[in-house]
Amino acid sequence: MRILSGAILGLGLATACSDLNVKLPARIELAPLDEAESTRARETVQLGFAFVDRQRDAADPVEDAFSGWSLWYAHDLWGGILRPSAELGAGYSEHAVEGFREAQLEVFRLCAGGRLTLQPERSPISVYGRTGWFYRFSWDPDFEAEPYDQDGGGYYLGAGLDVEFGGGLRGGLFLDYFKGSSIDPLEERFYGVSIGVGF
């Protein structure tokens, strides 16, 4: 019955379009970009909103954060299906501290590294990976004793998927991993969504 109803509906739609001289497409698909748009070199600004999963020992009183933010700028070195980029980034998160109801640890990150983007010709979908170095420092305005975190640097790795909606506007998902080398054994993971623009 469902098949018969669908066939009747399709026949009716085709007849109506024929009467109105409306040409139906042979198939419907995600709107492709033209080749020049999908493979050209570009600059990208990306804003991310993330959950920050903090990995430390059991004695660490600093909790995970739902208020993670990141801002990235990438400059493609050349165009093509596979585009390498130089990038700069900054990150921020605010963490509650267990045992101190009012205490909030604010963490800042500065990043520099590279990014590699894969975007097939005429596809609005792209995937990317990134890596580089970061410096991390924290500030707790309500706590006067020894700080919970040590300032220091390390490396980061990340990956993401973007969908372009036209005019360079895009949205997507990402995962970034931060590993402290001078703040051992600190590890942090950013699970987030992003919005951005390429120009």
In CATH, what number is assigned to the domain containing residue 129? 2.40.160.20
The confidence score (pLDDT) of residue 191 equals: 98
Q: Which amino acid is at 44?
A: T
Output the CA torsion 13→19→23→27 (10° steps).
Answer: 20
What's the rounded Cα separation, in Å, for the pair 150 and 192? Answer: 25
Domain count for the chain, please give it. 1
Parts of the chain with a pLDDT under 50 = 1-9, 11-14, 16-17, 20, 22, 24-25, 27-29
Q: Which three-class secondary structure state does DSSP give residue 13?
A: helix
Examine residue 17 and state whether it is found in any structural domain, yes or no: no
The confidence score (pLDDT) of residue 176 equals: 98
Examine residue 81 and state whether it is found in any structural domain, yes or no: yes
Examine residue 160 and state whether it is found in any structural domain, yes or no: yes
**Domain that includes residue 66, residue range:** 31-198
The confidence score (pLDDT) of residue 62 equals: 80
The confidence score (pLDDT) of residue 99 equals: 72
